[in-house]
Chains A and B, each alone.
Chain A
Amino acid sequence: QLQLQESGPGLVKPSETLSLTCTVSGDSISSNNFYWGCVRQPPGKGLEWIGSIYYSGSTYYNPSLKSRVTISVDTSKNQFSLKLTSVTAADTAVYYCARHVRVGATCFDYWGQGTLVTVSS
C-alpha cells in the first residue's frame, strides 16, 4: 500500500524559507507513470496546487507561487522536497504531499496526512 508522509518544521518565521520533505513508501518514486505533487490548504479554506515533480526532475509550478517555489527529488531516499521562500502569514496552511498520474486522468489518488505549517514570529 502506497503511503506518503510529510515532515518538516511546524513553525517558520516571516521572510524565511519553508521546507517540507515527503517520504514515499510502498512504491518507487522512480515509477514511469507518476508525478509527485504538493497541495496546500489554509485554515478553513480550499485546496491550492503548489507544484509537481517527476522522478527525472521535471517540474511544474503554480504560476501564482512559481517565483518562490522549488520542488526537488531524491530518488535514492524515495523522497521529494518543497521549499517556499520569503514566507508570510498567508502561507500558513496544511501542506499535503500527493501522487498523480503523468498522463491521462491527472488527479491525486494518494495523499499524505498533511502537516500544518504556521508562519509567525
Chain B
Amino acid sequence: EIVMTQSPATLSVSPGERATLSCRASQSVSSNLAWYQQKPGQAPRLLIYGASTRATGIPARFSGSGSGTEFTLTISSLQSEDFAVYYCQQYNNWPPQLTFGGGTKVEIK
C-alpha cells in the first residue's frame, strides 16, 4: 500500500502571503497525484491533477509541482477564501487502490 504523508499538519499564513504545502509518497507515484481543497461543512473540491494541471475553474494562484515521491502545492498569494484544509491523493496504483494524505490545514496567522 502506498502511504501519503502531508506536512505540515497546520500552516499559519497571513493573507497575501505565499503558502507551500508538501505531500510525500512512500514509493513513486510518478505524476499521478491530485490535490483537493476542503472548507468546513463542504465536500472536497478538486484543485490539481497530474501533479500540476489545474482543474476547471481553479485560479492561477494555485500551482502544483513534483513527481515521484515529493510534491508541492503552492498558493501564491493567499486570499480569505483559501483558508481551508488541503489533501493530496495518489492514483498511481489504480486499480486497485486510491489513497489520500492526512491533510494540511491552512489557517490565518
Contacts and interface: CB of A to CB of B under 8 A. Distances in A.
Given A46-B103, A49-B100, A106 B43 contact: no
Nearest to B99: A49
A55 interface: no
A96 B103 contact: no
Contact of A111 (B43, B50, B94, B95): B43
B101 A46 contact: yes
Contacts of B99: 49
Nearest to A109: B46
A47 interface: yes
Contacts of A114: 43
Interface string B52-85: 0101000000000000000000000000000000
B89 A107 contact: yes
Nearest to B53: A105
Interface residues of B, number: 27
Contacts of B102: 46
Interface string A52-94: 1000000011110000000000000000000000000000000
A29 B15 CA distance: 41
A60 B102 CA distance: 22
- Main secondary structure, interface of B, reads loop
A113 B1 contact: no
A48 interface: yes
- Size category of the binding interface on chain A: 20 to 34
Contact of A109 (B55, B94, B103): B55
A91 to B, nearest CB: 17
A14 interface: no
Interface of A: 37, 39, 46-49, 52, 60-63, 96, 98, 100, 105-109, 111-114
Interface of B: 1, 32, 34, 36, 38, 42-46, 49-50, 53, 55, 87, 89, 91, 94-103
7 contacts: A47-B44, A60-B96, A63-B97, A105-B91, A106-B98, A108-B34, A111-B45
